[in-house]
């Protein structure tokens, strides 16, 4: 598996997510960095600023670490709708309804401490669709 999706797959995703203008910036950034983690970190920092530790001892986890954990819990929980959308995206990456539905799902998650902006949601959806939802959820619970 390549580090990021092939150019044609990214172009299909770009077209499928055209209804969400911020999605293009996430895809452009991924093409620039060639790295999902770097892309998602940059998108998160663009939304929330540099993650803070909010402690003097430095032993508390950063907000981004906590957000990632909560996001994994929400995505890999009992609700199968997101899992189904990601599997559909793997099969049909140009399906605009499914792609925008998955991005919108992340934007509207209620278990996350603040709204996820569309560019960040796009980066996360792209990442999960690329590696596969089952691998993502297995990784998120490995410990």
Q: What angle is formed at CA 9 by the lines to CA 6 and CA 12, rounded to 5 degrees? A: 150
In a domain, 12, yes or no: yes
- Tens-place pLDDT, residues 72-87: 888 888 878 899 999 9
Its domain, for residue 27, covers: 7-50+60-141
In a domain, 38, yes or no: yes
In a domain, 112, yes or no: yes
User: Do residues 17 and 123 make contact, with C-beta atoms less than 8 angstroms apart?
Assistant: no
In a domain, 1, yes or no: no
User: Do residues 102 and 133 make contact, with C-beta atoms less than 8 angstroms apart?
Assistant: no
By mean pLDDT, which of 82-96, 101-115, 124-138 is the weakest? 101-115
Percentage of residues in the chain having pLDDT higher than 70:
85
Q: Cα-Cα-Cα-Cα dihedral of 54, 55, 59, 60, to 10°? A: -40
In a domain, 2, yes or no: no
Prediction pTM value: 0.83
What is the structure's pLDDT at 143? 55
- Tens-place pLDDT, residues 33-55: 999 888 988 888 888 776 554 45
Number of domains in the chain: 1
């Amino acid at each position: 598996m390549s580090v990021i999706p092939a150019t044609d797959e990214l172009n299909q995703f770009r077209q499928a997510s055209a209804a969400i203008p911020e999605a293009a910036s996430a895809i452009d950034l991924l093409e620039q960095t060639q790295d999902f983690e770097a892309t998602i970190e940059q998108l998160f920092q663009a939304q929330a600023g540099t993650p803070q530790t909010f402690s003097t001892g430095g032993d508390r986890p950063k907000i981004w670490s906590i957000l990632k954990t909560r996001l994994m819990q929400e995505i890999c929980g009992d609700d199968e709708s997101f899992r189904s959308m990601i599997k559909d995206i793997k099969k049909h990456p140009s399906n605009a309804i499914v792609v925008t539905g998955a991005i919108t799902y992340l934007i509207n998650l209620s278990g996350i401490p603040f709204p996820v902006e569309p560019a960040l949601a796009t980066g996360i959806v792209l990442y999960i669709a690329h590696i596969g939802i089952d691998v993502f959820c297995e990784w998120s619970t490995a410990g």
